[in-house]
Amino acid sequence: MVFHDITDIKKLENMRSDFVANVSHELRTPLTAIRGYVETLLHTPPADAEDRRQFLEIIERHAERLSRLTEDLLTLSDLESGKIQLSSKGLKPRQLIQRVLEVFWDQAAKKNVKLSQGVDDNLPEILGDTDRLQQLFINLVDNAIKYTPAGGAVSLTASEVQSRNGEPSRVEIVVKDTGTGIPEKDLPRLTERFYRVDKARSRDLGGTGLGLAIVKYIVQAHAGEFSIDSVISQGTTVRVRLPAVAPAQPAQSLLFLCTENSCRSQMAEGFARHLGNGRYRFFSAGTDPISIHPLAVRVMQEAGVDISMQSSKGLDKVPLNDIDQVITLCGDADEHCPTLGATVKRSHWPLPDPAAAAGTEEEILPIFRQVRDEIRRRVEALFA
């Protein structure tokens, strides 16, 4: 005998059956109303113009409900199937909250519900899709206002939450209302499609029963977290935690230091600027600077790097307090720079001075090229 556990299969079948039944019911209600009033207008229209207008307004209201339902079903389907491609970029929490609240100022004022916000100006940016995040919080604020009686309040606040295990921090946005509240037994099921705590009231307020299901999938698509707390007659608090944009690492300052700052350090700076990957800011200096040797300019041009616009300079031209790493290219030149702090990382590249070589230009050129190639190799290794 072979036994198969079909619990999950049965669960999926029941979910599908419930979904079909719920969709059928949600569609049937407005369609029945529309059909009934249209038939009345076609066959036995009311004589009073005001009655006819009322019938048309009812048809319009149910048509809008069908439109919302269809749009939410399509959105939910796309989110579940992964068809919606998120365009993630940095978004300021204050800007996001302001855009959401702009949608509801008039609605809240008409209902006499106070809207407020509280956002720390120093919050990191949220990493996410702007349109989808607006949709997420529009759904939450819409629910909050609907279920908050006149004289109540709805607030949006944002704060930074530090994550554990060295993970990037998150931005927590909280939507809080002083509304009717939700029974504790209903909280685990709120994100189910078409689940309503008060079915009759939800439909009267124009809800489709899909808003929180959409919220859940948008949060999941952003690798976020989502929780709901509520107390009957006191209100509901919804917390959404979203990944923050990791702070950019500041570029380190690297100093190439050589006694004369004419050949080796200038060639090192030239290669560093040519090959640099944004990790460093580059400086070169000399304790006793002289003009750049013309053969250094020439061999660097052969390598595709132009250092003719670089200038030999002394330590007084370098922001020594900002230097993170110093590389000396001759002797013990770092000993001549006592202003560099003890925490500055030090390296030494023992390279001969090609400008000190004796002989004709043709005899000296190979020495310049040899030093140039060794400097390029070392700079490439530095950026590897």
Pairing between β-strand 235-243 and β-strand 252-258 as defined by DSSP bridges: unpaired
- Please pick, among 330, 333, 340, 351, the residue that the annotation labels catalytic: 330
User: Cα angle at 69 between 224 and 199, to 5 degrees?
Assistant: 85
Q: Are the CB atoms for 185 and 202 separated by under 8 Å? A: no
Examine the residue annotation and report whether 337 is marked as an active-site residue of this protein: yes
Q: Are the CB atoms for 288 and 262 separated by under 8 Å? A: no
C-alpha gyration radius of the chain: 35
Quote the CA–CA distance of 246 and 90 in Å, as a whole number.
10
Quote the CA–CA distance of 40 and 51 in Å, as a whole number.
11
- Please pick, among 258, 272, 329, 371, the residue that the annotation labels catalytic: 258
Q: What are phi and psi of 129, to 5 degrees?
A: -90, 120
Examine the residue annotation and report whether 263 is marked as an active-site residue of this protein: no
- Quick one: 9 exposed, middle or buried, by C-beta within 10 A (0-12, 13-18, 19+)? exposed
Nearest Cα to Cα of residue 122 among 98, 162, 93: 93
- Quick one: 379 exposed, middle or buried, by C-beta within 10 A (0-12, 13-18, 19+)? buried
Quote the CA–CA distance of 293 and 313 in Å, as a whole number.
14
Angle, to 10 degrees, between the axis of helix 7-43 and the axis of helix 49-81?
160
Q: What are phi and psi of 296, to 5 degrees?
A: -65, -40
Sign of the CA dihedral with 346 first, then 352, 356, and 361 last: negative
Give buried/exposed letters for 260-270 (b at 16+ CB in 10 A, else e).
bbbbbbbbbbb
> Annotated active-site positions, please?
258, 330, 337
